A and B are shown apart, each in its own frame.
Chain A
Amino acid sequence: MTLVRADRPQRSPAASRATVSTPADAGKGRRRRRGKHQWTAWAFTLPLVVYLAGFYLYPLYRNLDLSLHHYTVRSFVAGGAPFSGWDNFGQVLHDPTFWPAIRNTFVFTLVSIAVQYCAGLALAVFFNRNFRLSGLLRALFLIPWLLPLIVSSSTWAWMMNSESGVLNYALHFIGVSPVDWLTSPHWALTSVVIANIWIGIPFNLVILYSGLQNIPADLYEAAALDGAGSWQVFRRITFPLLRPVSAVVLLLGFVYTLKVFDLIWIMTKGGPGDSSSTLATWSYRLGFGSLLPQFGPGAAVGNILILIALVFGLLYIRVQRSQES
């Protein structure tokens, strides 16, 4: 949705700017018409600008404002919180939770994405062969994506319960001693990663599958005539031609996974200790997790998260640019 709306109106001012730069012998009437055009163009962008300002810029500004002031519950209600510069960020950086949260955020994000992408790609290639019932099977794979996160996360939490979970029951059957999936500091992060991978595979499958459909069949025919093996076909044709789609999947996956909150909160609340805390859950915990909210530090953690996403977004653009040139 945003994709479409973001790029379309962009053209209008650019186009009218191009008109402005025509030779300077233009008469008064033409200028008035151009002015009118320009106003019309701006009017078209107005809804988007209002939307962006109201729903993106203002919350961003508020979040930044929160993180740069020393808010107490009193000043939150009555106003007049003193400006505290980078104090909240300093406090957050020196908090013992900071480095574990950073580490967990990256482990959670990178492992989730890597496995989701590989599994999604493998499944996409598999379903690309179009065998009997492949449509039905593909639809079944979408179920994790259709379920509300609260349902899938709670179900995973029940399955991973160390006393009565079905997972430990299954392990017991094959003679493995039970694992404290969600209550051991060594396993908690792994457990939420497993659940998150399961939820993320369909997204990767769908996008990569549609990418595969766009690869011309004659390339494969030509490869077959040249006697290429299936691994060679994948490495030389499928994977390179899928690269633009892969880049989109990975970037979107990164941004989605970076901010995953509900899944972790429902399954472990970031615990035990900080063993499965990420920046997203930590930010929430600071802001709303106790009876006394700490809005400033909570917002500061949120801003760090935004910054990380921005850095990776820009990195993606750079990579794209160098590929194009």
Chain B
Amino acid sequence: MRHLRRTLIAAVLATGTLTSAVACSSAGGSDDSGGSAKGTYTFWDPYPQFDASSEWGKRVAGCGTQAGVTVKRTAMDTTDLGNKALLAAQQGNAPDIMLVDNPVVSTLVQAGILNKTGDLGLNTSSIQQNILGAGVMDGSAYGVPIGANTLALYYNKDILKTAGVDPAGIKDWATLTAALQKVKTAGKKGITFSAIGTEEGSFQFLPWFWGAGGDLTRLNDPNGVAALSLWKDWVSQGLAPNDVLQNTQTTSWQEFATGRYAFGENGTWQLANAAKAGFPYGVINIPARNGGSAPAPTGGEFVTVPVQKATGRYDVTKKIVNCLISPTNLLATDTTLSYVAPTSAVQQQQVQQNAALKPWVSAVAAARGRTSNGLGTKYPVISQQMWTAVQSALSGGKSPQAALDAAQAAAGRKG
């Protein structure tokens, strides 16, 4: 009897504690956001920083009122959003409207849970093709970009002045590295970026990878190796700090904001923070290996409309979406989000309002979608291997060539 009891206790303990950890990952997540109530439309976005009283919160609510319904908005972390979307779709209660990070669109399309924008009658003709690209699968668009952002190099004017570096002279990798060395000689720190082992790390690495002429389907070709070697050399020569391996884009920004770094690779969304940094800053486009601007990846979300059983809801949904993205409203929306608009007409208005956006508009024009060019859901597999390779090489675990060889082999196996 005692044995039996012990067996039971131990078995329950052992399996119970473990399954609670593992299983909640597979079975959890039922939200009450089914949107069955008439007159209430559910809306998910990855902007938890904006509450109901924020400009964005009011804008969403206002678009609901205009359409004659109530919009129930739920904001969650961007990495959560994709998983929650899949679970909600599985349980048949996907939201009416969902804003998702652009590389997630292809995954959701593959899952079969998004409507084509053409079927809904949404117009995407004025959207810049390179921005729309991330949402296009087999020739059809599955979402409308609400705005775009991308990466560029912020620099600290004071430090460059002290070190005797003219930012206008930074045209390619060689001049950038030379500038970093001058800064180091002057006793300051060179450049900070994010090389963390998540999608953010790949996002930040891509301008250098593409700027070298790298090809995502051949990670380990000499161009890709050159890009990784550039980062690796910066870290091993002390031109970039070792903790880039752990930096998110936010912590990398915080490093730059200490005023001790000459350069920081970051995005449009930091512009408001840059003004508060307490030192004069400038922005240049990320240089390509042999001169010119490197193509940076497009960031920003797409407005998508998940498939509903009650197709009658689409009419109102369309009104809400149009309210957010119609040319007249786009300016207000993107100013709220600190994004570059996805149409050239609105971009011009933005530059007129705020001249600081000029380099960003040109960076967005040169940017590429991560899942574009038919990569689709192959991109997440490649990206994961790419950030793993970056981590292995920068930490000294592997040489850039060996790290990218392993990444290419793994991506080929899984892709």
B22 touches A275 (CB 8 A): no
> Is B120 an interface residue when CB atoms closer than 8 A count as contact?
no
Chain B residue numbers with a CB within 8 Å of A280 are 21
| Contact A271/B245 with A6-B12, A317-B10 known, Cβ cut-off 8 Å | yes
B27 touches A291 (CB 8 A): no
Binds B, one of A29-37, A157-165, A194-202: A157-165
Within 8 A of B (CB), among A118-139: none
Residue of B at shortest CB range from A4? B9
| Contact A272/B242 with A96-B406, A316-B10 known, Cβ cut-off 8 Å | no
Binds A, one of B211-219, B334-342, B378-386: B378-386
> Is B23 an interface residue when CB atoms closer than 8 A count as contact?
yes
Within 8 A of A (CB), among B31-83: 79, 82-83
A74's partner among B110, B198, B392 (CB-CB below 8 A) is B110
Chain B residue numbers with a CB within 8 Å of A73 are 86, 107-108, 110-111, 377
Bound-complex Cα distance A314 to B13 (A): 11
B395 touches A2 (CB 8 A): no
| Contact A290/B22 with A2-B16, A185-B395 known, Cβ cut-off 8 Å | no
A157 touches B89 (CB 8 A): no
Residue of B at shortest CB range from A72? B110
A292 touches B377 (CB 8 A): yes
Residue of A at shortest CB range from B94? A77
| Interface secondary structure of B, over-half rule | helix
Binds B, one of A105-113, A222-230, A231-239, A299-307: A299-307
Within 8 A of B (CB), among A49-88: 52, 55-56, 58-60, 62-63, 66, 72-74, 76-78
Chain A residue numbers with a CB within 8 Å of B246 are 157, 161, 182-183, 268
A255 touches B380 (CB 8 A): no
Within 8 A of B (CB), among A285-322: 287-293, 295, 298-299, 302-303, 305-306, 309-310, 312-314, 316-317, 320-321
Bound-complex Cα distance A316 to B6 (A): 10
CB distance from A155 to the nearest CB of B (A): 14
Chain B residue numbers with a CB within 8 Å of A7 are 5, 8-9
A60 touches B26 (CB 8 A): no
Chain A residue numbers with a CB within 8 Å of B388 are 271, 273
A184 touches B396 (CB 8 A): yes
B17 touches A292 (CB 8 A): no
> Is B311 an interface residue when CB atoms closer than 8 A count as contact?
no
> Is B405 an interface residue when CB atoms closer than 8 A count as contact?
no
Bound-complex Cα distance A96 to B245 (A): 21
Chain B residue numbers with a CB within 8 Å of A269 are 196-198
> Is A252 an interface residue when CB atoms closer than 8 A count as contact?
yes
Query: What are 27 A-B contacts defined by CB distance under 8 Å?
Result: A10-B8, A55-B20, A59-B22, A66-B26, A73-B107, A77-B111, A78-B112, A161-B243, A162-B241, A162-B242, A163-B242, A163-B243, A185-B396, A269-B197, A272-B394, A273-B397, A283-B22, A289-B198, A291-B82, A291-B103, A291-B379, A292-B377, A295-B26, A302-B18, A302-B22, A313-B10, A317-B6
Give me 9 other A-B pairs in contact (C-beta within 8 A), A6-B5, A309-B18 excluded.
A3-B9, A56-B16, A62-B27, A73-B107, A182-B243, A261-B21, A272-B397, A275-B395, A310-B14
Please report A residues at the B interface, Cβ cutoff 8 Å.
2-3, 6-7, 10, 14, 52, 55-56, 58-60, 62-63, 66, 72-74, 76-78, 96, 157, 161-164, 180, 182-185, 251-252, 255-256, 258-259, 261, 268-273, 275, 280, 283-284, 287-293, 295, 298-299, 302-303, 305-306, 309-310, 312-314, 316-317, 320-321, 324
